Structure 1
Amino acid sequence: MTMQRDVHDELRARLHEAADAHQPNRERMLARIERGMAGQERTDHRATRPPLWGWARIVSATAAVAGMLAVGGYAVASAVKDEPPARQTVSVSPAPVESPQATSRPPASPEVTPSSGGGEREPDEPSSPPSKTAKASPSGTPAADLLPATDDTENGPLWSDGSVDPHSNDFWAQSNVTIKTSEQLTALTVQLRIAQTGGVSSTGAWRSPPEDDFALTVAERDGFLVYTWVLKEGRTVPKGEWVFAGQYDHDRGGRDAKDDTYTVSAAWDGEEGLVGGDFAAHDDDEGDS
């Protein structure tokens, strides 16, 4: 008994000595704690998965919202369907009604724009160079009545002359009718007749009096290209010298103007008279009186 007790006492003493000598390993303890906590987190993560009844609740809520939207859409469609569509009207222009006078009116006489070589000029200004920018085709309407031909270049206050412009060439020409009057004219008609010698066609016309004072007709009559200027009613031509010119193309080569003529009809102070002639050269002293 005594021996056994001594053994226990000796063992107890050694255990106390070992306990006093033990130094805890702090790092190992912390590592063990961290491993234990990590294992617990994985266990908790698996335990927090949503149960099946949670998904069923989400699906039910979604179906309820979709149903409400469908019912609302149906109600809106029904309300729109019940309203009758607005009536639309389309304006249609009435069919054009042809006037009975539309085909009975004669076409207006064509006005011929003066060429760039024409325009207003003083009697002593040199004649204009050829210009083809104001081409005018002969009118399809009947020309003014042909005035009677005459060889009298002077009559009362009137004097006249016909000449081919010096700027004419092998393809183009201009014929000038010059008149002088010592009285104011209350009526005036100037007619220029160009014989059709081949390829003769109008390219324009001009006059030195104001353009708005005259009506111009260009037409082909009896083998002639006829230019006719007529003073408008209520207009007058003052004293002075005036030029009326017709421009035209012709076949290549020098053109013979021997068959070209002109006539001028005028009225002044209650009297009337005619002058006219051809396009042959005249002496310079003619018409000086």
Structure 2
Amino acid sequence: MDETRLRRELREAALAHRPDHARILARVERGLAEPAPAPRRRPSAGRRAGRRWTVGAAVAAAVAGVVGIGGLAATTLGDRPAPPATVLPAPGPAARAAGTVDPGSNRWWAQSDLALTTDSPVSGLTVELRVARTPGVVTTGHWQTRPADDFTVTVSEHDGALVYRWTLRPGRDMPPGPHVFAAQYNHAEGVRDASADTYTAVLTGADGGRTTLRGTFGR
């Protein structure tokens, strides 16, 4: 077979070839993982001449495979959807809170006060005071400095605590300023330990931003 015909047949075979990308990748990975082969004796001039076209065909096939792999990778990356944009939540209303046992409490009765200060109008608010059920604890009432009609108020027992909850009614706003929410209860005679009592206040601004405040009442 003359050289011109051999080149033509190699070119036609290369054009008709459809490489198996998965197998090529697997062979490349195996080749990288295997240790380098030991040095081999150089073949004679006659053997090198006999292998010339075999090596050329292998190189042509390898180049075709690499081109095919590159095209596959480009197509795969190009088809990936763009990641969704990150939307940061609106900042919540600026506010501060502190829980204390009212100094007017006595050896049989106590009042837990939550002082809540807001720097901007609040369109949504939930305040929760949890009074641990220490001996003799029984609710005797509650109050707040804002109008009673602005809130829905409930008192329940949950997980060993009296739970006082104020929820701002829909359509009502709470203006900036200091506000107080108070829970009242009887308890066993003596100085009651209030270290297990807690509060949570969740405030929502007109733009939907939310602020959550948590704390304890201590002794």
TM-score greater than 0.5 by the shorter chain: yes
* AA of the residue aligned to 1:277: G
What RMSD, in angstroms, separates the aligned Cα atoms of the two structures?
Answer: 1.2
1:157 to 91, 94, 97: 94
Q: Does 1:274 align with 2:209?
A: no
1:231 to 160, 164, 168: 168
The corresponding residue for 2:132 is 195
Residues 88-112 of structure 1, C-alpha deviations (whole Å, 9 max, x = no match): xxxxxxxxxxxxxxxxxxxxxxxxx
Tell me the number of residue pairs that the alignment of Structure 1 and Structure 2 aligns.
127
> As a proportion of its length, which structure holds more strand?
2
Q: Does 1:265 align with 2:202?
A: yes
Deviation at 1:264, TM superposition (A): 0.1
Q: Does 1:213 align with 2:145?
A: no
* AA of the residue aligned to 2:101: V
The answer for unaligned runs of 5 or more in structure 1 is: 1-154, 282-289
Higher-Rg structure is 1
2:116 to 179, 184, 194: 179
Distance 1:200 1:280 in 2: 17
Residues 60-116 of structure 1, C-alpha deviations (whole Å, 9 max, x = no match): xxxxxxxxxxxxxxxxxxxxxxxxxxxxxxxxxxxxxxxxxxxxxxxxxxxxxxxxx
Deviation at 1:156, TM superposition (A): 5.0
Distance 1:169 1:274 in 2: 31
* AA of the residue aligned to 2:211: G
Whether the 8 Å contact between 2:122 and 2:174 is mirrored in structure 1 is yes
Identity of aligned residues (%): 45
* AA of the residue aligned to 1:164: V
Instruction: Show the 5 A alignment for 1:19-30.
Output: none
* AA of the residue aligned to 2:218: A
Distance 1:256 1:235 in 2: 36
Distance 1:242 1:179 in 2: 5
The answer for unaligned runs of 5 or more in structure 2 is: 1-91
Deviation at 1:273, TM superposition (A): 1.2
Q: Does 1:256 align with 2:217?
A: no
Distance 1:241 1:215 in 2: 20
SS at match of 1:194: strand
SS at match of 2:156: strand
* AA of the residue aligned to 1:160: A
Distance 1:249 1:156 in 2: 34
Residues 235-273 of structure 1, C-alpha deviations (whole Å, 9 max, x = no match): 000010000000000011110000000000010132111
* AA of the residue aligned to 1:247: Q
SS at match of 1:169: coil
Distance 1:187 1:269 in 2: 8
Whether the 8 Å contact between 2:94 and 2:211 is mirrored in structure 1 is no
SS at match of 1:212: helix
Q: Does 1:246 align with 2:192?
A: no
The corresponding residue for 1:98 is none
